[in-house]
Amino acid sequence: MPVTTLVSGTIVFTDIVGFTQLTDEHGDDVALTLLERQEALVRRSLPEGARVVKELGDGLLLWFDDARVAIPCALSLQRAFEHESDDDLPMWVRIGMHFGCPRARGDDIIGRDVNLAARIMDLAAPGEVLCSESTASEAGDLPGVGFEPLGPVFVKGIADPVPLVRAFSVD
Amino acid sequence: MSETTARLRITRRSGKVRVVAEPGSALAVDGGTFVENDDGTVDVRAGGSAVLEVHCPTGSDLTISTASGAIDVEGDAGSVKVTTKSGNLSIERATAVDARGASGRVKVGVCTGKCHVVFVSSNVHIDEAAQAVVATVSGNIELGSVGDAEVKTVSGKISIGANRGGRLAARSISGSVKISLPSGSRPATRLKAVSGHVRNECESGHDGEVRAATVSGAISVTCR
């Protein structure tokens, strides 16, 4: 058995929407530019207690020790992506997250909660941040952040539906 | 159950869900069971029948979760929230909609408030909405008559019919964008197709705002 440890924190997935299409239309150099923009923005924005776990093609897997930090950071990232986006090269990113206890295996994280965070991301629109209700509960009240319950969602491989919440910035 | 509006949470992994919101209707469930919670919500769970049919009062708020199977909401509903993976979705009339999923056709009749639809490969058709916010990857998006709209797709076609000089924003990567405004409208426009053709038949003015951008699709704006 490989050595793993149980860790508690927030798992965040990002994904560039339309990446395959952009690559097809504009070639690999443009695709690479988009990836580099995303990663640079994310790395610049990550606070202490957060890290890029790994790159996943056109997305990233991130780890945050604290859900109270993860949610505002994800919303801030969306604003930065929107700012970075232009008509020639749209940077449409969807973000999904889940607070849980995955297993750390070296620098990587694995387990049910990681899979769940990825499925939550699948339901997000470009520019949106979706999280499980448990993430919002863990974070509690956050200044400048609102939550809209979206109802439970069935996720492949998980028996019971998982309550889903949309996080949004409040002016 | 009283005849006032209800807040229903309907959960079914697979199979058809039919909800009928009608005036004076008491809550009735065929093909499943329901439990009233202390907070006023009602949980509806499916049994083993092919169709879960729920009758509820007009204006009831619905949260419907399925993995697969068609969802039909008939009559006048309140806020309707849907998450599904696959299956056609049809909503006749609602005060607000938030619908998310992967595949299956989406059709909304009238949404008097915000209609937010996020599907991967579904064709999305909204007859009428005060505000439509729609995103797809490959599905076509057709908005019949909307006030404001914010639409994004990677490769689907976008067609927007505006019923007033609202704020319309449409962005695609390779799909075409067609926007139709009321006759005589003079909108402020910002249109850009990186490698596609742009056609704007409207005179410029301040009757709302039209922003459209595509990377390789064509853009057409008409006022008729």
- In a domain, residue B101? The reply is yes
The partner residue sitting opposite B83, judged by closest CB among A22, A25, A164, is: A164
* Same domain, yes or no: B102 and B188: yes
Task: Please state the rounded mean pLDDT for residues B123-150.
Answer: 96
Quote the domain boundaries for residue B156: 95-224
B118/A88 touch (CB, cutoff 8 Å), yes or no: no
How many domains is chain B built from? 2
Is the predicted pLDDT of residue B218 greater than 90, yes or no?
yes
Percent of chain B with pLDDT over 70: 99
- In a domain, residue B31? The reply is yes
Task: Please state the rounded mean pLDDT for residues A73-88.
Answer: 91
ipTM: 0.84
Average pLDDT, chain A: 92
Task: For chain A, positions 126-145, list CB contacts with chain B under 8 A.
Answer: 126, 128
**Which pLDDT band, with edges at 50, 70 and 90, does A2 fall under?**
low
The partner residue sitting opposite A22, judged by closest CB among B67, B171, B173, is: B173
- In a domain, residue B185? The reply is yes
Amino acid at B149: A
* Same domain, yes or no: B114 and B222: yes
* Same domain, yes or no: B61 and B160: no
Interface test with A, best of B154, B194, B195, B211 (most A CBs within 10 A): B154
Is the predicted pLDDT of residue A23 greater than 90, yes or no?
no
- In a domain, residue B10? The reply is yes
Strand, helix or coil for residue A99:
strand
CA nearest neighbour of A51 among A63, A38, A66, A36: A63
A125/B135 touch (CB, cutoff 8 Å), yes or no: yes
Last residue of a domain, one of B28, B61, B85: B85
A90/B155 touch (CB, cutoff 8 Å), yes or no: no
The partner residue sitting opposite B152, judged by closest CB among A123, A126, A152, is: A126
pLDDT of residue B196: 86
3-state helix/strand/coil string of chain B: CCCCCCEEEEEEEECEEEEEEECCCCCEEECEEEEECCCCEEEEEECCCCEEEEEEECCCEEEEEEEECCEEEEEECCEEEEECCECCEEEEEECEEEEEECECCEEEEEEEEEEEEEECCCCEEEEEEEEEEEEECCCCEEEEEEEEEEEEECCCCEEEEECCCCEEEEEECCCCEEEEECCCCCCEEEEEECCCCEEECCCCCCCCEEEEEECCCCEEEEEC
* Same domain, yes or no: B210 and B126: yes
Last residue of a domain, one of B85, B116, B143: B85
pLDDT of residue A50: 95
Q: How far apart are CA B15 and CA B34, in angstroms?
A: 17
- In a domain, residue B109? The reply is yes
Q: How far apart are CA B29 and CA B188, in angstroms?
A: 50
Task: For chain B, positions 27-46, list CB contacts with chain A under 8 A.
Answer: none
A151/B66 touch (CB, cutoff 8 Å), yes or no: no
| C-alpha A62: how far from chain center | 7
Is the predicted pLDDT of residue A70 greater than 90, yes or no?
yes
Beta bridge pairs of residue B114: B131
Helix residue ranges per DSSP H, chain A: 19-26, 28-45, 67-84, 112-122, 133-139
pLDDT tens digit sequence for A123-157? 999 999 999 999 999 999 999 999 999 999 998 88
* Same domain, yes or no: B144 and B205: yes
Chain B partners of A128 at a C-beta cutoff of 8 Å?
118
pTM of the prediction? 0.91
B83/A90 touch (CB, cutoff 8 Å), yes or no: no
- In a domain, residue B114? The reply is yes
- In a domain, residue B203? The reply is yes
Query: What does residue A150 show for φ and ψ, rounded to 5 degrees?
Result: -110, 0
pLDDT tens digit sequence for B49-94? 889 999 999 999 999 999 999 999 999 999 999 999 899 999 999 9
* Same domain, yes or no: B75 and B183: no
- In a domain, residue B90? The reply is no
